[in-house]
Amino acid sequence: MRRVRAMLAAWLVPMGATAFAAAEPSTVLTRAATHVMVVAHRGGGFFAPEDTLAAIDLGVEVGVDGVELDVRKTADGHYVLMHDDTVDRTTNGTGEVAAMDLAQIRALEVRWAPPQFVRKSQFPVPPDSDRFWHLRVPTLEEALGRVRGKAFAMLDLKAEDAEGVARLVTEKGMVGEVIFKVNSIAEGEAVRGVAADAVLLGRPDDEEALDEMLAALHPPIMHLDEITFTAEVIERLHNAGTLIWMNALGEADVTAVVADGNDLEWLRRLGDQLGAWWPTRFRPNVRPYRKLAERGADFIQTDNIVAVVRTMAEYKKPMRSAK
């Protein structure tokens, strides 16, 4: 296992992967001004059980800048990592998170089936590694402790208790290492009411909601989608000094990781020396990610974390002049 981690570190670090250093409230935004930030969907993307400490550890080892984590609230008031409103899909239990207490949830074991379309050779750590066995659902406190000083955490507030989550983050002294995803003006105001310096990621449903959220909250980051990620909106946001978050999930990531597997096989046939020379940017699997960055994305959330970390390590983000 140590050998695998050493090989992974040697592969990524010379290419420019840098550890996230969290010190002040503006650290995330300061780094995003000069780098396209890579965010691991649910902690470890395709390569680890979602929303677990093992996923967070893997994301950090690969070199992501941040991890996206889903937060829900138990019946007895604790915050845990869980995407769905029930534990059915990701554990060996059944029931709604909001109807279970922490002890009940902690008694469950996480279940994980690695994606079949990802070749085993593409996993930075073998999917059958014992580090992915007998995992428990972590609390938000545990997750924050895991990322402290290593990566930022983007919290997807499924708990419907933005104020409570913000209070916990504040008590842990980690406001500068967290991005709060807010889906409404009220949710953003609840976070800011507890932590005035909190970094908000606005998630509007359409361009009208985007304008309203910008006017009311002035979030430093806006989450766009295929509809709102237009040249006009991109220019308007960047002129206002607002950073842009885009997802590369679903079909984009699946297509890219399959292409990456094919590329790896093709490069092996070329031979180690020639394969090592072939620039990453010319490989088909990285084109969608480079295109997002070239169009103006400042944050890219992905399941295909290994490829995107390597791609963004080689990508030189253009400096934008202040308007």
Q: Reply yes or no on whether 41 is catalytic.
A: yes
Q: With respect to CATH, is domain 2-71+140-314 assigned 3.30.70.20? A: no
Give dist(CA 4, CA 117) in Å, integer.
Answer: 22
The model's pLDDT over 193-239, given as tens digits with 9 standing for 90+, comes to 999 999 999 999 899 999 999 999 999 999 999 889 999 999 999 99
The model's pLDDT over 90-106, given as tens digits with 9 standing for 90+, comes to 999 999 999 999 999 99
Q: Reply yes or no on whether 83 is catalytic.
A: yes
**pLDDT of res. 7:** 39
Q: Is the pLDDT of residue 4 over 60?
A: no
- Catalytic residue chosen out of the listed positions 83, 134, 223, 238: 83
Q: Which residue has the higher pLDDT, 111 or 28?
A: 111
The model's pLDDT over 16-51, given as tens digits with 9 standing for 90+, comes to 344 444 434 458 898 998 999 999 999 999 999 999
Q: Which of 154, 171, 135 is nearest to 49 (CA)?
A: 135
**pLDDT of res. 258:** 77
- Catalytic residue chosen out of the listed positions 35, 41, 218, 223: 41
Give the global pTM.
0.87
Give dist(CA 244, CA 298) in Å, integer.
Answer: 5
Q: Which residue has the higher pLDDT, 322 or 182?
A: 182
Q: What phi and psi, each to the nearest 5 degrees, are found at residue 39? A: -120, 130
Give dist(CA 270, CA 265) in Å, integer.
Answer: 9
